[in-house]
Amino acid sequence: MTENSGAVAVITGASQGIGREMVQQLACLGYMVVMIARNAQRLAKAVEYVGSACPQTNIIPIAADLSQMREVRRVADEISRRFPRVNILAHCAAVIHVEDTIAGGDRTGLGCDGA
């Protein structure tokens, strides 16, 4: 048993990038990790990826599109029913739309759509 046994981490954007790597590190440290990602197929592959690095993991994958409030509520309800406490919450999923004005008055739009 590890020192983090029983501790719960919830990671959004968990199917790739920083989110997936956070899941792997926390799972290897003994956390029970709730992986949340929009794409169910990528989420399943991420679970396999983490499991190959840390075979004794306790992972709960949840496919959800957190840009939809009903999905946010569904996931929050599920987590609160299953766990009395969440020790770590990392929000690695993002949709960012930034508009900026550059020199000369031209407008530019920058966007980032994370998993």
pTM confidence score: 0.79
CA distance 18 to 24: 10
Amino acid occupying residue 64: A
What's the pLDDT tens digit per position in 12-62?
A: 999 999 999 999 999 999 999 999 999 999 999 999 999 999 888 899 999
What's the pLDDT tens digit per position in 78-110?
A: 999 999 999 999 999 876 555 555 555 544 444
Q: Which H or E run includes 98?
A: strand 95-101
Note the pLDDT of residue 95.
60
Note the pLDDT of residue 115.
44
Neighbours of 109 (CB within 10 A): 8
